[in-house]
Every structure is written in C-alpha cells, then in structure tokens.
Amino acid sequence: MASSIVLSFVGQQDPYSENTSQEGSIATLIRHLLDQNYSLRRVILLHTEDVAQKANDTKHWLQDKPFNLPEESIELVPVGAELSTDPVSLLLAVQEARKGLEKAVPFLSKQDRLEFNASSGTPVMKTSWSLLQAAGYAPHSSVWQVRNPREMKEGQPRVFQTNVDTLKNEFDFKVVKRQLEDYNYSGALVTIKDSNLSIPLIIGLLEYGQYRLAFDFNRAFNAIQPFVNHVEPEFISEISSLRQKNRIALFKEVYFKALTKLENQQYADFLVDVFRFQEGFLRFLVETKLEFNLPEKFTDTLNFWNSIKQVDAGKINDFLKNYTLPSGGKLKNLEGFPSRLVLMAILEYYQPEFGKLLESLRQLNDYCEQRNRCVHSFEGVSELEEAGKIVKILRDILQQKITVPEKNPFNVLNSKIFSLLTKCLHS
C-alpha cells in the first residue's frame, strides 16, 4: 500500500496560531491528509534554533488526538546554524530542504510519495520545496499550501496543491529533446525515468534506439516487441533483418550509424565506421564471388591461400603475385590475413564486373588511412572538410545493392518519440 512522508519547516504559527486561534499549517495539512485517507509513514520537521520549542510542541500535538501519530514516526531535524542566523537565504533554505529529503529517502518505497508543506517557515523556506520539485529531486511529490483562514474567500479550500509539475515537465521535455537530437538514448532514458513524461511505449522506444545503435539487435527487438501494434512497421522489419544478420542490411545500418556520428561532429568515430563499412563490403563482395569465406583467425589463413591457388587454375594467385600497386610497390601479406589492398586486387581480377563498385570503394582508401592514424597514432580529428563527399560515396555503394531510404531510421525513431513526448506534455 502506498504511503506518504510529510516534510515541512516549522514556523512561528505552529502548532497553533495565536493570531487566528486555529491550528497552524502543519497540523492543518496533516489533518487534511488523514481525512483524505492518506497513510502517513513519517513526518519530518525541519526547524531553526528560534523555533526549536515550537517544533517540540508540534511533535506532541501530532501525537495527541485526533492525529495519534506514533512518536517514532515524527522526526525533528535542526537545520544548520547558517540558516538559523540567515533565515532569508534561499540557497541555505534549499540546501537544508535537500538534507530533509535525504532523511526521507531510506523510508521511501517505489510507491510512496512525498508531501511538502509550503506554508510554514520563512518565505524562502516555503519556496524551497517547489524548487526541489521543479529541479527533479522529488519526482513523486506534492507541494501543499494552507490558506490563512482570515484571508480565505468563499468557496476556496483551506488546503490545496500547488505542484510545479508542469514547469518540471517542460524542463524535462527540453532536455530529452536535446538528447534525442544527439542520439543520446541512454541519457534520455535516465531523464525520462525520473520525470512525469515516462510511459512504457516511450521507454521501449528509447531502449530500442539505445540497443540498435549499439548493434545489440536482439535486445532492440525485445524492447519494442510488446508494442508491435503501436510502432511503425519499418521498426519491426528493419530490426528483423538485422537480427538475421542480413549483410546488406548491416552495411546500411553502419552507414546510418556513421551519419549520427557525423551529425554530432564525432569525426574520429565517423571514420571508424567508414573503415568498418569499406572493409566489410570488400569482404562481402570477395566471399560472394569466390564462394568461400575469408579467414577470421590466423590459423585459417593457410586454408584460404590454398583455396586461392585453386581458383581459375591458379590464375588469380599469379595475378596477385604480379600485381603492381599505384604507388609502384607489390602486394604484401600474400600468406597472412588478406589486406584491403589484396581484396581490391581480387575484385580487379574480375573486371569489369565490379567496375563502379570498386572505383567507389577505392575512393574511401584515403579516409580509411586517416582512421588508421587516429587509432594507431592517437591523432584526433576536429574537422573533416570532405565529410559530404564521403557520405555520397557510401550511399552510392549501398544504392548499387539496395534501396537506401532518404530519412535516417534513427531520425524517424526520434520523430516518433518526440510526438509521444509532446502528447504527454499536453495531456
């Protein structure tokens, strides 16, 4: 069963106001909550030195009828000497309110709520609870106001909520929107889970994006499987192809992932994906043509080169041995792992079959070498003037094998999540 923990500063009118001849705001709020069948787990009362006696009086007041709160459920918390000396400092008031919040945390379950009394203490003390709520320190909370009985108008309730959830929701919305623009799905998940905008479908889509970007396609599929009737069909079809390790689908995924890195100006990571794309595509073309796999580990290289010697009565092997690079040198590693240059030479042997593809793949070589310098020489890349050209080459290669969507699927995903967030914000 859900319970509540009440937090309040103690004011000059607690527990009983001589000015109004009625209970102060703490007792009035507690009475209201009990009348509404709230289950109160704990009451935490923060007080300055000058109202220490009033804090004790309030505790005894709440132990008596009709409240009957157990003594051990009421905790008195003296604030720091700084706030006692300077009770109009907003910063000090917020810091002490946070300490009170920290004392409540060990008693909170996932279903419990915090009830903040914003009607006792100095003006800055009253304001501190709303600031904590707006800043996201207490996502499951309510801020309560207790009206002065002498100033109430007809029809106005004595106790009412003044939550700033709407303001907090707007803050969270802006943060998540920026995180989506950066494809920061893991960060957005953290923000959403501590917000009022969290619904299972949004969580599922964010997890889908996070896992898909990490190439964990099984988890990405599992994240949206419960929402198959509420998401775009392409989300399911794309992830299904990727789970089946369709190689063309994987190359397309590398391409779109590279675009997200470029969008975030992560040029070194972008070049890593370019290298990954070129090497993978070369392997794919060679393996498809030769009808046997390239070596994955050193012990497989002997079998690979023995197989090469059998292709076309050994002609391709002779071609590789006599091949002259544009730089004038000869191919190396003709007994070890086949390099990218060896793979391109194999494709050149079958010209003109791979003419346009081979030309495009060769154009990526300079950028792949730049990637190697980044990795092996610890060089950074703060600028990439030919990024647009690289993207066009990658796209041209893909389009010779598959239709490439105009929109990045991660942008389509972001639009879906953004639409759902907008609905939550205005609901």
Instruction: Round to whole Å and give the CA distance between 65 and 46.
Output: 23
Segment holding 45, helix H or strand E:
strand 40-47
For position 52, what pLDDT does the model report? 94
Q: At what angle do helices 355-363 and 387-399 cross, to 10 degrees?
A: 160
Per residue in 398-420, pLDDT tens? 999 999 999 999 999 999 999 99
Q: Is residue 333's pLDDT more than 70? A: yes
Q: Taking residues 256-273, what's their average pLDDT?
A: 92
Helix (H, G, I), strand (E, B) or coil at 225: helix
- pLDDT value for 123: 93
Per-residue pLDDT tens digits for 223-237: 999 999 999 999 999
Q: Between the CA of residue 17 and those of 24, 146, 270, what are the distances in Å? A: 5, 13, 68
- Return all residues near 340 (Cβ < 8 A) that are at least 6 apart: 278, 279, 282, 365, 368
| pLDDT at 376 exceeding the cut of 90 | no
Query: Taking Cα atoms as reference points, which of 248, 314, 304, 256 lies closest to residue 281?
Result: 248
What pLDDT digit, counting tens, does each position of 15-32 carry? 988 888 889 999 999 999
Model confidence pLDDT, tens digit, residues 84-137: 999 899 999 999 999 999 999 899 888 889 999 999 999 999 999 988 888 878
Which percentage of the chain shows pLDDT scores above 90?
Answer: 70
Which residues touch 71 (CB under 8 Å, ≥6 apart)? Answer: 59, 63
Could you list the beta-strand ranges (E) of 68-121: 74-78, 113-117
What are the tens digits of pLDDT across the range 177-228?
999 999 999 999 998 887 778 899 999 999 999 999 999 999 999 999 999 9
pLDDT tens digits, one per residue of 132-182: 888 878 878 889 999 988 888 888 899 998 877 777 788 889 999 999 999
Q: How far is CA 166 from the centre of its chain?
A: 21
